[in-house]
Amino acid sequence: MWQRLRLALALTQQATLVLALAGLAIAWTNAADAQTRTADQYYPALHALTRAELDQINTTDPLTDLRVELAYLRSLINSDISAATERLPALESRIDAEFYPSESVYLHSIKAELLIRSGKLDEASAIIDEHRAALAAVDEPSVRVVFMLAEGLLLVRYGQQDRAIALYRRARFIAQSAGDSALTAIARHNEGVAQIQLGLTVVALENLTYVANNIDLIPNDMRLEETVRFNLAYLQLQSGEYQAALSNLQAVDRAAWIELGHETRAFIVTTQLARAYSSLARHNDAVTELEPWLQRADVNPGPDLMNDARTVLAEAYLALGDYEAAERYIRQARAQIEASDAVGKRAEFDVLEASLARARGDLSGARDKLAETIARLSQGDPSKGYLDALHLQADVYNELGDYAAAYAAQRSALQVERVLRTADFDRRMSVAIVTSEKETSQRELDMLRAGERLAQTRSERDRIFDIALIGIGILLVLIAYLIWLQWHREHAARTRLEKTVAERTEQVRQELERRVDAERAKRLLEHRLVEDEKYRAVARLTGGLAHDFNNLMTVVSCSAELIKLGAEESDIDALAEDILDAADSGTRVTRSLIAYARQQALQPEQLQLDEFLIDNEALIRNTLGESIELTLDLAPARVEIDRASLTTALLNVLF
């Protein structure tokens, strides 16, 4: 019962979350629709044009002219940073924030993005913080999206990909609702890149596949095709297709990117190229390719990307056996992590430090470091760093000879790997990120003008209410079905258990009956053994008495014979004859007793049965006792039998 209640409560909470997200998405769509109907339609159309097409637009309207220039500048930052940096000051002098608040926010968003791509993160952060308040007064959805793209890029460079993903997702919803297809594709592309860096490969692949399938929505002079190729190579690295990733990375024109001012992009490509070399055990190539880039003064990719490069170099040097170089890069990364907010790589470098200690033979140090790291990582969601730490811990315990601990670590690693392999794990992570940001999303939506949505509020509210009712009905049916399914499973399990118990009970009953029968047979056998022992004791006693009595009868017989031989009178002779007859009868009795005692060999002879019974009448009467009257009614009968055995049989019958 309690299990069903807990299941119903959990399902209800999930249903509430789904409905909240659905309502939030509908509200975003409706708000963006209302905004699109009232705002200027130029930006979505301008963002879809190439720079050549923008140059052909002739207008006398200052506002339209500024928007064309901003769209042109927006196109440049993805393909030619140097040209964008040169055009920025002139355009900045023409835009007055008081008269053109939206265009001012747009311009400073581009300026911040240029600074970020040049590695000047602090300056870019100051610009974004300064103009975040002005964003509340901006009407155009596309301007808001441009600002979000710049802020998301800053968050990515600071290693806060989870916040960037939520921001990019809101940006693409707003851009899609405003009909700005180019910004929608760019937002999805940036979201996919952030998801790749966070390890959310499934949803990242969805976003990048969308961009690849809709690449024609983005002007071809923005050179986004090469970026998509690079991201595909990154995903191939994550999935273990190292040779294919290496081919794609080698095909990226880094020299062209450097010429256009995209040194950071070239640095990222070089880092991943070195990672591909290292994954293919070409560690020397990885070091040769990447290490010179860390010495370049014109490259400042930010702490997170720099630590990526240090990770690759540390792993390569560790594989090459150059522990000093590996330790140097690990120390540099650790110092960078402690000095900034870029803590996303901390677990990775903890594992690297433990690997270094293990390589140097310090197994105890590696064990302690891994124990500390795993204890910290176990408090959060499963991650690849957590999995790597568990695998390394199992290897260290195995080398220390603690096989039980090694088995436990390997078992934990398998459980984490099973969670990481589930196809919907990435989706749950993304939903969790969106849920954690929904209050911020609501504040963003509240900034849109309420008056511009008022015309459709009632109809949209009714539609949302109907959708919510349908959703609640479906979820209630689903909950009821799951509860019934749970009950059915429990009922089936209970039925199987009752059947099993009945079968076991019958087996126990049959076993008890068998044991009772065996015990009864055992007791009967014991009783028979006791009786047999009793008869044997009686037989032994009888045999002993019979021998003694037979000896006496021998003396009596011998004496009677002597008397008879020396007697002269007939009376004495008759007495001697009586004594002999009595002795002979006693001898026969003793022989019978000896035969009963099984102490005489069988001697079959011809016997007259009636005469035998008459001769043993006295023995029969004594055996039966005075309480039984004996009458002999005999007919002649002749048998061949051992006399003693016949006597024994007769006594047994009488007994």
CA distance 466 to 62: 46
pLDDT digits (tens, 9 = 90+) for 245-256: 888 888 877 777
Nearest to 365 by CA among 399, 338, 334: 399
Q: What number of residues does the chain have?
A: 655
* Helices 346-359 & 303-320 angle (0-180, nearest 10): 20
For the segment 268-277, what is each residue's pLDDT rounded down to a tens digit?
A: 888 888 888 8
Mean pLDDT (whole number) for 237-265: 77
Give the pLDDT band of residue 453 (cuts 50, 70, 90). Answer: low
What pLDDT is attached to residue 151?
Answer: 92
Is the pTM higher than 0.85? The answer reads no
Percent of the chain surpassing pLDDT 70: 80
Tell me the pLDDT band of 434, cut-offs 50, 70 and 90: very low
Distances (CA, A) of 362 to 259, 288, 368, 403, 599: 47, 29, 10, 18, 91
Query: Which structure tokens are listed for 27?
Result: 């509200």
What per-residue confidence (pLDDT) applies to 635?
A: 92
| pLDDT of 438 | 47
Task: Tell me which DSSP letter residue 641 carries.
Answer: E
Q: What is the pLDDT of residue 193?
A: 83
**Is residue 297 helix, strand or coil?**
coil
Closest of 87, 76, 149, 156 to residue 112, by C-alpha: 149
Range in 281-290, 386-395, 423-432 with the lowest mean pLDDT: 423-432
Higher pLDDT: 21 or 170? It is: 170
Residue 292 has pLDDT above 90, yes or no: no
* Band of pLDDT at residue 386, cut at 50, 70 and 90: confident
Q: What is the pLDDT of residues 459-476, one digit of tens each?
A: 777 788 888 889 898 988
End-to-end CA distance of the chain: 74
Q: What distance in Å separates the CA atoms of residue 186 and residue 231, rounded to the nearest whole number?
A: 13
Widest CA span in the chain: 188
Residue 424 has pLDDT above 50, yes or no: no
- The arithmetic mean of pLDDT across residues 497-503, rounded, is 91
What local confidence, expressed as pLDDT, does residue 103 receive? 87
DSSP letter (8 states) at residue 136: G
Residue 120 confidence (pLDDT) above 70:
yes
Average pLDDT of every residue of the chain: 77
Per mean pLDDT, which of 291-300, 339-348, 462-471, 531-540 is the most reliable? 462-471
**Rg, C-alpha atoms of the chain:** 54
Rounded CA gap, 564 and 541, in Å? 34
pLDDT digits (tens, 9 = 90+) for 520-566: 999 999 888 888 787 777 777 676 677 777 777 777 778 777 787 77
User: Per residue in 558-588, pLDDT tens?
Assistant: 877 778 777 666 667 777 777 777 777 777 6
Q: What integer pLDDT is reported at residue 87 of this predicted model?
A: 86
What pLDDT band is residue 637 in, cutting at 50, 70 and 90? very high
Q: What is the pLDDT of residue 250?
A: 83
Distances (CA, A) of 506 to 148, 169, 498, 511, 512: 74, 65, 12, 8, 10
Q: What pLDDT is attached to residue 608?
A: 92
On the question of pLDDT at 117 being above 50, the answer is yes
The amino acid at residue 625 is G
Q: What is the pLDDT of residues 579-620, one digit of tens each?
A: 777 777 777 667 666 666 555 567 888 999 998 888 888 778
pLDDT of residue 556: 79
Nearest to 430 by CA among 419, 438, 439, 442: 438
Q: What was the pLDDT predicted at 38?
A: 35
pLDDT of residue 340: 61
Q: Which of 43, 78, 87, 34 is nearest to 63 (CA)?
A: 43
* Confidence band for 427, pLDDT divided at 50, 70 and 90: very low
pLDDT at 207 over 80: yes
Q: Name the range with the highest mean pLDDT among 2-16, 185-199, 396-410, 492-506.
A: 492-506
Task: Report helix angle 457-566 to 2-38, nearest 10.
Answer: 160
pLDDT above 60 for 414: yes
DSSP-H helix ranges across 567-603 = 570-596
The pLDDT value recorded for residue 439 is 39
Does the pLDDT value for residue 356 go beyond 90?
A: no
| Confidence tier at 380 by pLDDT (50, 70, 90) | low
Query: pLDDT tens across 22-44, in order?
Result: 444 444 444 444 333 333 457 88
Does residue 334 or residue 471 have the better pLDDT? 471
Higher-confidence residue of 47 and 594: namely 47
Q: Looking at residue 606, what DSSP letter applies?
A: E
Kind plus residue range of the DSSP H or E element containing 495 = helix 457-566
Q: How confident is the model at residue 400 (pLDDT cuts 50, 70, 90)?
A: confident
pLDDT tens track for 141-178: 889 899 999 999 999 888 888 888 989 999 988 988 88
pLDDT band at 440 (very low <50, low <70, confident <90, very high): very low
Of residues 628 and 308, the one with the higher pLDDT is 628
Instruction: Quickly tell me which residue has 């998405």 as its tokens.
Output: 25
Q: What is the pLDDT averaged over residues 287-307?
A: 79
Q: In terms of pLDDT, which residue wins out, 190 or 21?
A: 190
To 10 degrees, the CA torsion angle through 310, 316, 320, 321? 40
